[in-house]
Chain A
Amino acid sequence: MAVDADVARLRRGDLNALSELIARYQNRLYRYLLRMVRQPAEAEDLFQQIWLKVVEKVRSFDVTRNFDAWLFTLARNLAIDHLRRVRPQSLDEPLADDGDCATVADRIPSRDYTPLDTALALERRTHIDEAMAALPMIYRETLTLRFEDGMKIEEIAQVIGAPVSTVKSRLRRSLEQLRSALAGQYGEARP
């Protein structure tokens, strides 16, 4: 069933619709929260709080709006409030140090995947995960919404309440900083 139908049912107080919506958004929302706060226990607590907010506010939700954007905006506001209260410094974190550059040949992946390649890919993913966690919150958020969640730029703009140009600028900077943090693996950006 479509999200809109579930939202309409939830607005009428149908608990089955709530159950379906939670199941549908569970992984996406949890991942977003985890990228924001970085602590699984905090992400899980926020996850529960978000659905309490949804239940409280769903009647005032404008059905012509995008539910994804509305839900993630709620999540964002709760996560930022939480960070402001618990770890205010995490909203403005220092960046990871740069490392060495690799050659162009090193940067282009081979098409013949061997078990070693798979292991290396896994290691690369771990490095990316760690490097991403070291980025400032606004950059982690932009990267996860765009790459992991697959949101369109316009949708991200709705979630963070900023113009499309700001989203693009954040996306570019976040990628540049991520690449700097992973310089040993992917090479630094060159002029």
Chain B
Amino acid sequence: MSEHDKVRELLALAVAGALTAAEEKQVAEHVRSCVSCSNELDAWRPIATELRRLPTPQPSPWLFQATLARTEAKLADEAEHIWNRRLIIFVVTLAWLLTIASAWVFYFVSPYFGSLLGPQFGRTWIVFAAFTAMGWLAGVVAAVTLAVRQRDERRLA
């Protein structure tokens, strides 16, 4: 490829300001001595100028506010999601703690089990059952909350 052909290919990029310093120098030197390339460069210039002067299209005036409102709603939704997740973690942890603590309760009331037919048996059994039920109830609340949340998310999606 001759010098002329090489420079010819660079002319469009020259008006786009996309040449390296070495290429710019090469084009400038060649154009000084080549009328054809000089004319060709002049032909490219108004296109580049008009491209740079194209008016910027304006979006609808409400776009800014609509975008802000939509993103804020998303952030609020995310914050609620995080809060719900923390609540579920808390409730599940509580349920587990209560269940684990039931062993301690069992240990605490175990002396009463020695006399199954004694008058304390009924009370011991009720305390133990109520404590275990509390643990399971917390677990059920957590599961229901999670299920409702997931159903809402699926509906939104």
Q: Is B115 an interface residue (CB 8 A)?
A: no
B153, CB-defined interface residue at 8 Å: no
Q: How many Å lie between the Cα of A167 and that of B39 in the bound state?
A: 25
How many positions in chain B have a CB within 8 Å of any CB in the partner chain? 38
Known contacts A51-B70, A107-B46: A147-B75 contact under CB 8 Å = no
Measured in the bound complex, the distance between the Cα atoms of B66 and A47 in whole Å is 10
* Interface pair A30/B63, CB less than 8 Å apart: yes
Report yes or no: B64 in contact with A190, Cβ–Cβ below 8 A: no
**For the complex, is A48 an interface residue (Cβ under 8 Å from B)?**
yes
Q: How many A-B residue pairs have CB under 8 A?
A: 125
Chain A residues with CB under 8 Å of B44's CB are 175, 179
Distance, CA A129 to CA B17, complexed state (A): 20
Is A31 a contact of B57 with CB atoms below 8 Å?
A: yes
**Interface pair B57/A179, CB less than 8 Å apart:** no
Contact B47 A128 (CB under 8 A): yes
Answer whether residue A153 sits at the interface, using C-beta atoms and an 8 A cutoff: yes
Q: What distance in Å separates the Cβ of B64 from its nearest Cβ neighbour in chain A?
A: 6
CB distance from A58 to the nearest CB of B (A): 11
Give chain A interface residues in 14-46, CB to chain B under 8 Å.
Answer: 15, 18-19, 22-23, 26-27, 30-31, 34, 40, 43-44
The distance in angstroms between the C-alpha atoms of A109 and B46, with both chains bound, is 7
Interface string of B64-85 (1 = CB under 8 A from A): 1011101110110000000000
User: CB-defined interface of B107-140 with A at 8 Å, one 1/0 digit per residue?
Assistant: 0000000000000000000000000000000000
Task: List 8 A-B pairs, minimum CB-CB distance, nearest first.
Answer: A147-B51, A175-B12, A30-B59, A107-B43, A48-B67, A172-B12, A104-B39, A51-B71
A sample of 14 inter-chain contacts (CB < 8 A) reads A18-B68, A23-B64, A27-B59, A44-B63, A48-B67, A104-B42, A125-B53, A132-B54, A147-B16, A147-B48, A147-B51, A171-B16, A175-B48, A189-B43
